[in-house]
Amino acid sequence: MAQRHKMIAGMALAALALSACGLGEAPEGESEEPQTEELDLGEVEGEITFQTMQLSPTFDDFINGLIDEFEEEHPEVSVEWVDIPTEGTAQKIAADASSGNLADVLDLDVATLAPIARGGRVLDMAQVSPESEPDFVDSAWESFAFEGIETSALPWYLNTPVLIMNTEILQEAGLSEDENPDTWSELFELSSRIASDTDAAGFQPTVRALRNMMISAGVPMVNEDATEAVVNTPEALEIVESLAELYENGGIPKDSMTAQPRSEIESFQDAEVAFFETGPSRIAIIEENAPEVFDALAVAEPLESTGRGAWVVAHGLAVSDDSEHKAAALEFARFVTSADQQLALAKESTVFPSNNEALEDPFFTDSDGSAEDEGRSIAAENLASGQTAPAANTAIDTEFEEELWSEVQLAIMGDEDPSDALERAEQTLTELLEQRNS
């Protein structure tokens, strides 16, 4: 069990860090025109470097085995594996790109890949491997599209949520688990009911949740070219006012607005909230840490899965445009992201494949009725059926989200007018975007 949870923690760190390393635009002058002709990548041979983000030591055996298998199939290629910590990855990638020292094959999340993709530093997979597109989940393939490049990486592993609930709290509030919310607005309504009839709150809002609420409500967040923030809208105002009302009536925990709020999973494990939208890997953690809450746990479809689509975050494998062995690097990226290899990785960890064929495996389609199986099958079905959506814009990264949250906190607590808070947030966030583009 201990080793299993080491694997959960290791891959969850990588998966949940997908949007935590955002950078701004590439430096001025680095952008290139999109490639218009298929490249001659040469022969599949040579020494290439495969760089990953914080997969060692948990996945040493898996990655080394994968490389051995590839080298056996391609004896003219040798692969050197380099693993780097998640913290500082964005800075390292920027420095490597500037000095021309990018690894041949790069395992990166969307936000970290964005600046070098926009700068023309990686191959466009839609050109060099167009036959690969049907193999992948649409939202995963679309996640790696940037201005000037259609697909900057072959999708590798994904994370997407389910909605878990404490049925004891729901029963106390006179609700059944079949009354779980489908949208954020429904969650707001149920949270007020729960607060009025129990000692618990409905859910705990977070930095990321506020972003998701606004995008789902149609708030643009940024203009078309991501040079100005667009968060001061009627839809955004309604959300902030609704959160302020929930703060007042106990629909959200009071400490969710403090400087050091409790984490969502802590609040759920302590039976302080009824609903928690999260990646399915958290179910096993709750089972270990809070068995009594786990016994009351039920799993449902995530919010917005039938609307715009539940969120999806992705890691992909990009090939450096500076690689001296592009054909070998591309072939290795195809191998790693193939159905068999993605399925093997999923079974070793808690992430989801981006490969459609891998998602058809009984490991994802069959369920024994347990919470873990239900969570995995619901999330996989949403990925396979197109009920997930890529990030609205990579400019809406962790820094953007945290600044927005900071600007509206006082309004949610009732200490500031929501309109004033959103007006200031829009100005502050526009200044942030201008700094990135300067």
For residue 92, pLDDT over 60 is answered with yes
For residue 421, pLDDT over 90 is answered with yes
Q: What would the CATH number be for the domain defined by 162-309+392-437?
A: 3.40.190.10
Secondary structure class of 106 (helix, strand, coil) = strand
For residue 288, pLDDT over 90 is answered with yes
Partnered with residue 83 across adjacent β-strands are 52
DSSP 146: B
| Mean pLDDT confidence for 198-223 | 93
For residue 33, pLDDT over 70 is answered with no
Q: What percent of the chain has pLDDT over 70?
A: 90
Hey, CA dihedral for 18, 303, 206, 295, is it positive or negative?
A: negative
Hey, CA dihedral for 235, 237, 243, 245, is it positive or negative?
A: negative
Please spell the DSSP secondary structure of 83-103, one letter per residue. EE-STTHHHHHHHHHHHT---
For residue 203, pLDDT over 60 is answered with yes
pLDDT, position 129: 96
The amino acid at residue 116 is I
pLDDT, position 225: 86
Antiparallel, parallel or unpaired: β 162-166 and 77-84: unpaired
Contacts of 265 (CB under 8 A, 6+ apart): 276, 278, 282, 285, 286
| Mean pLDDT confidence for 1-25 | 37
Angle, helices 234-249/184-197, rounded to nearest 10 degrees: 20
For residue 23, pLDDT over 50 is answered with no
Q: Where are the alpha helices (DSSP H) in 17-143?
A: 60-73, 89-99, 110-118, 125-128, 138-143
The amino acid at residue 4 is R
For residue 27, pLDDT over 90 is answered with no
Distances (CA, A) of 359 to 26, 333, 339, 378, 384: 35, 19, 8, 11, 7
Q: How confident is the model at residue 16 (pLDDT cuts 50, 70, 90)?
A: very low
- The CATH H-level (homologous superfamily) assignment of domain 2-160+312-359 is Periplasmic binding protein-like II (3.40.190.10)
Q: How confident is the model at residue 4 (pLDDT cuts 50, 70, 90)?
A: very low
Cα(435)–Cα(19) distance, integer angstroms = 20
**Whether the domain at 2-160+312-359 and the domain at 162-309+392-437 fall into the same CATH topology:** yes
Q: How confident is the model at residue 436 (pLDDT cuts 50, 70, 90)?
A: confident
Residue with the larger pLDDT of the pair 351 and 309: 351
Give residue-wise pLDDT tens across range 364-411. Answer: 999 999 999 999 999 999 999 999 988 777 788 888 999 999 999 999
Please spell the DSSP secondary structure of 273-342, one letter per residue. BSEEEE-THHHHHHHHH-HHHHHTEEEEPPTTTTTT-EE-EEEEEEEBTT-S-HHHHHHHHHHHTSHHHH
Least confident of 13-17, 135-139, 280-284, 431-435: 13-17
* Residue located via tokens 């694997």: 7
Q: What is the CB-side half-sphere exposure of residue 290 using CA atoms within 13 A? A: 17
Give residue-wise pLDDT tens across range 232-279. Answer: 999 999 999 999 999 999 999 998 887 677 789 999 999 999 999 999
Hey, CA dihedral for 142, 147, 151, 156, is it positive or negative?
A: negative
- Which of 339, 376, 401, 349 is closest to 132 using CA atoms? 339
pLDDT, position 64: 98
For the chain, domain boundaries: 2-160+312-359, 162-309+392-437
